[in-house]
Amino acid sequence: MTLDDVEQVLGKAIGLALDEDLGITGDITTQGVFPAKKDVVASIITRDAGVIAGMFVAAATFKLVDDNTGFVALCEDGVDVEGGQTIAQVKGDVSAVLSAERVALNFLSHMSGIATMTRRFVDKAAPYGVTIKDTRKTLPGLRIFEKYAVEAGGGIHHRFGLYDAVLIKDNHIKAAGGMTEAVTRVRGNLQGDLPIEIEASTIDEVKEALRAGVDTIMLDNMDVEMIRKAVKMIDGSALVEVSGNIVLDNVEEIAKTGVNYISVGALTHSSKALSLSLLIE
């Protein structure tokens, strides 16, 4: 994913957020206090240590409210910051700065929280050659921003949506009448030589997945001992991904089992926002 990918939806997403916050009248408090133009300089400060993501979204938010607003990023996305660190400066009319403040900080703090959580998982898994993936458990309309933040934290994407990768899950298997039948249908109905990933929650299902010759087997909600047994059985015949109930306390133990990937829904659905403030100097 590149900045160009995100920028294609950037204006629309920010516009919706600003419309939600400003309504049709705008920031009536700021209008009341400052009826005339007044230039100010403000700093964005992080209260928490973490990883920054979404600096360009914050910059675009201030610019969308008033193109004359200046935004200077003092660090790049993906960089570790300390609590109390000034990460950006904003210059412009006070009405524009304060009208854009909350939306800009909401994007920046949410994305930075995801990047921070991702980095924590990555740091635990990377020494064992294991890659951390995100999932589709994202906020509606914000997926591209959240997945960009995962990248900033060092993770990768399991898939962006239902349209760009094959993943046969338990409900596909049940509705098709079995794992082998589901794989056979995918191969027969989809054009091109697409990699096939399938979900397995028991050792018997792992055996069937191996017989079906899939490219990746996702070990879903298995305990560590079962994961070890499955990895030994697969023995490099397919890539191995683990999902389900992955937390910081167990990710390292799972990474030690020899899997290739660990997918973590919590990266996007449960990351705590990084605490940020905008202070006028």
> CB–CB of 1/144 below 8 Å?
yes
Mean pLDDT of 170-175: 97
Structural domains counted in the chain: 2
| Domain with 206 in it | 123-269
Out of 137, 159, 185, 256, the active site residue is 137
Question: What angle, rounded to 10 degrees, do the helices at 203-212 and 224-234 form?
Answer: 20
Answer yes or no: 215 catalytic.
no
The pLDDT value recorded for residue 2 is 59
Mean pLDDT of 96-120: 98
Q: What is the pLDDT of residues 119-156, one digit of tens each?
A: 999 999 999 999 999 999 999 999 999 999 999 999 99
Does 44 lie in the same domain as 138?
A: no
Does 127 lie in the same domain as 61?
A: no
Out of 27, 48, 220, 241, the active site residue is 220
Percent of the chain with pLDDT over 70: 98
Does 132 lie in the same domain as 99?
A: no
From CA 238, how far away is CA 235, in angstroms rounded? 8
Answer yes or no: 220 catalytic.
yes
The string over 196-211, giving b where at least 16 C-beta atoms fall within 10 Å of a residue's C-beta and e elsewhere, is bbbbbbeeebbebbbe
Does 259 lie in the same domain as 210?
A: yes
Answer yes or no: 174 catalytic.
no
pTM higher than the cut 0.85: yes
From CA 144, how far away is CA 12, in angstroms rounded? 12
Does 77 lie in the same domain as 58?
A: yes
Q: How confident is the model at residue 1 (pLDDT cuts 50, 70, 90)?
A: low
The DSSP secondary-structure symbol of 84 reads T
Mean pLDDT of 78-96: 97
The pLDDT value recorded for residue 191 is 82
CATH of the domain at 99: 3.90.1170.20
Q: What is the pLDDT of residues 218-255, one digit of tens each?
A: 999 999 999 999 999 999 999 999 999 999 999 999 99
Answer yes or no: 120 catalytic.
no
From CA 196, how far away is CA 219, in angstroms rounded? 14
Element (H, E) at 15: helix 3-22
Contacts for 10 with CB less than 8 Å, ≥ 6 apart:
56, 57, 60
Out of 151, 199, 205, 208, the active site residue is 199
Q: What is the pLDDT of residues 22-66, one digit of tens each?
A: 999 999 999 999 999 999 999 999 999 999 999 999 999 999 999
From CA 269, how far away is CA 244, in angstroms rounded? 13
CATH of the domain at 167: 3.20.20.70
Does 103 lie in the same domain as 31?
A: yes
Strands (E), 130-195: 131-133, 166-168
The pLDDT value recorded for residue 120 is 98
Out of 102, 187, 207, 256, the active site residue is 102
Does 250 lie in the same domain as 153?
A: yes
Answer yes or no: 229 catalytic.
no
Instruction: Sort 160 into a burial class: Cβ within 10 Å, 0-12 / 13-18 / 19+.
Output: middle
Does 88 lie in the same domain as 153?
A: no
Does 184 lie in the same domain as 105?
A: no
Does 167 lie in the same domain as 77?
A: no
Does 153 lie in the same domain as 38?
A: no
Polymer length in residues for the chain: 281
